[in-house]
Chains A and B, each alone.
Chain A
Amino acid sequence: MTDMKTPLAKVRGLGSAKDGTHHWLAHRVTAIANIPLILFVVVSFVGNAGKGHAEWVAWLKQPIVSVLMILFIANMVHHMRLGLQVLIEDYVHDHGLKFASMIALTFASVLIAALSIFSILRIAFGG
C-alpha cells in the first residue's frame, strides 16, 4: 500500500487525533505514581479505622499527610479522567452525545479535584 503520509507528518507522529501518544503515556505515568500513593491512602485508612472527627482532622493536618493527599487527589483524578475518556470514546457513538460527555467528564473531574483539595487545605491551614 502506498504511504500517503508526508515526511513531516511521519516525524511528528501525531496521528489522526493530533495528540500523538500523549494520552497513552500520561495514563501510564499517572498509573505508576498511583501505586505508592494508593498504598499510603489504604494503610492510613486502615490504621485510622473507626476514629472520630478530631482524630481524622489531626491526621490530615500533618504537613506530609496534607501534601501526599493533595498529590493523590490530583494524580488519581487525572488518571480517572484519562480512563473514562477512553470509555466514552469506545462506547458513545453519537457525536453530539460524545462531545457533551467529554465536556461533562472534564468539568466533573476538575470539580472533584477542587472540592477535595480545598477541603484538605482548609483543614491543613484551619485553626
Chain B
Amino acid sequence: MSKGNRPLSPHLQVYRWGAHMAVSILHRATGSALAVGAVLLTWWLVALATGHEYFATVQGYADSLIGQLVLFGITFALMQHLASGVRHLFMDMGRLYDLKVNTLSAQLTFVFSILATIGVWYAGYKVMGVL
C-alpha cells in the first residue's frame, strides 16, 4: 500500500499538538476557571455591601500572595477566553477555516492574552503606586 502524502487519521501515538487544538481545549478550561472567578466576584460584591470591616477581610485575602496568584490566573483565563471567543465568533461566520489562517489566529489568541494579562497587572500596580 502506498503511503505517499496521505493524511493520517488522529492516532494517540502520532498525535502532534497544534495551537488550534490547544486553543479549543483551553477555551473550555478557561471558561470553567472563569466560573470560579464569578463566585469570587460575587463574594467581593457581597463583602462590599456588608460593610468596611468584612470588606477589609476579603480584600486582605485578595492582597495575599495566593490571592494575587489566583487573580492573575483568572485575568489570564479571562483574556484567553475573550480572544478565543472572538475567534470562535469569526468561525461561526465561516471565516478563519483556511489551515494556515486558522493556526495563525489560534497563536494570536495567546499573544493577545499574555500581553493583555501583563498589561492589566502592570497598569493595576502602577495605579496602586507599587511600581
Residues of chain A touching chain B, judged by Cβ–Cβ distance below 8 Å, are 28, 31-32, 34-35, 38, 42, 45-50, 52-54, 56-57, 60, 76-77, 80, 83-84, 87, 112, 115-116, 118-120, 122-123, 126
Contact = CB atoms under 8 A, between A and B. Distances in A.
Interface size class of B (residues with CB under 8 A): 20 to 34
Chain A to chain B: the 4 pairs with minimum beta-carbon distance, closest first:
A50-B128, A53-B52, A119-B49, A119-B45
Interface stretch (B6-14, B78-86, B107-115): B78-86
B55 A53 contact: yes
Interface of B: 28, 31-32, 34-35, 38-39, 41-42, 45-46, 48-49, 51-52, 55-56, 78, 82, 85-86, 88-89, 92, 120, 123-125, 127-130
A46 B38 contact: no
Given A35-B82, A38-B82, A115-B45, A84 B39 contact: no
A119 B89 contact: no
A69 B56 CA distance: 21
A87 to B, nearest CB: 7
A77 B48 CA distance: 19
Contact of A84 (B32, B45, B128): B32
A28 B88 CA distance: 9
A112 B127 contact: no
A80 B41 contact: no
A46 B45 contact: no
A47 B66 CA distance: 22
A17 B5 CA distance: 41
Nearest to A76: B38
Given A46-B120, A46-B123, A112-B39, A31 B85 contact: yes
Given A46-B124, A60-B48, A123-B48, A77 B129 contact: no
28 contacts: A28-B92, A32-B89, A35-B86, A38-B78, A42-B78, A46-B120, A46-B123, A46-B127, A49-B124, A49-B128, A50-B127, A50-B129, A53-B48, A53-B51, A56-B48, A57-B48, A76-B38, A80-B35, A80-B38, A84-B32, A87-B28, A112-B39, A115-B46, A116-B46, A119-B42, A119-B46, A119-B48, A122-B49
